Chains A and B, each alone.
Chain A
Amino acid sequence: GAGVSQSPRYKVAKRGQDVALRCDPISGHVSLFWYQQALGQGPEFLTYFQNEAQLDKSGLPSDRFFAERPEGSVSTLKIQRTQQEDSAVYLCASSLSQGSSYNEQFFGPGTRLTVL
């Protein structure tokens, strides 16, 4: 079956440009997470959606980062006025929301953003 997909896989932006990164979660998955992974580091949480509701955006590093999931499926992470420190891999993960302690998160392949 289809897993989590992300597009584009690679994005090069000039400093100051706006970018939009897309995530298609596994069909039926209620929960959706965005993570940022800097080079040589582990992923760090950015934001969480349950269906269309953004329930936690505590990890967004600045107000230049904005995420949405208007219909409770596809999500877009937008970064305005990109800076060099935004260069990273952006990972999307989805999971069923059944309240079990397990709740494996399935990750997409990521979008590698390079800001010049």
Chain B
Amino acid sequence: AQKITQTQPGMFVQEKEAVTLDCTYDTSDPSYGLFWYKQPSSGEMIFLIYQGSYDQQNATEGRYSLNFQKARKSANLVISASQLGDSAMYFCAMREGGGQAGTALIFGKGTTLSVSS
């Protein structure tokens, strides 16, 4: 079974609009972390936002916010006021375990976001 599911292969949005990228996850571990990364066409993975499983509030970082619904096991990324530079592939990822630094990230298949003017 997929541990991270991103059901939207591609999303299209106009500049200045908000967009939500979906992510659901599957784990039986009570302690885990959820990450969103952006990967432009140049290839580097850029960290955007992090949500811990015990965090009470949804994470926010500038124009990025994470809509964390623990009971539904979803961790959707919301980008407000989209910009042309937001066009990229977006990956949701999870790390299981209680903060063990050696635990690898498990990635979804990604969503391609295209922002038009």
Contact = CB atoms under 8 A, between A and B. Distances in A.
Nearest to A111: B43
Contact of A42 (B43, B52, B98, B110): B110
B102 to A, nearest CB: 5
Interface of A: 30-31, 33, 35, 40-45, 48, 50, 55-56, 59, 89, 91, 93, 95-110, 112
Given A89-B43, A101-B33, A102-B33, A31 B107 contact: no
A49 B28 CA distance: 25
B45 A97 contact: no
Given A42-B110, A104-B47, A104-B50, A50 B102 contact: yes
Contacts, number: 78
A contacts with B: majority SS: loop
5 contacts: A40-B109, A48-B102, A91-B45, A99-B99, A106-B47
Interface in B47-105: 47, 50, 52, 54, 91, 93, 95, 98-102, 104-105
Contacts of A89: 43
Q: Which of A30, A101, A109, A112 has the most CB of B within 10 A?
A: A101
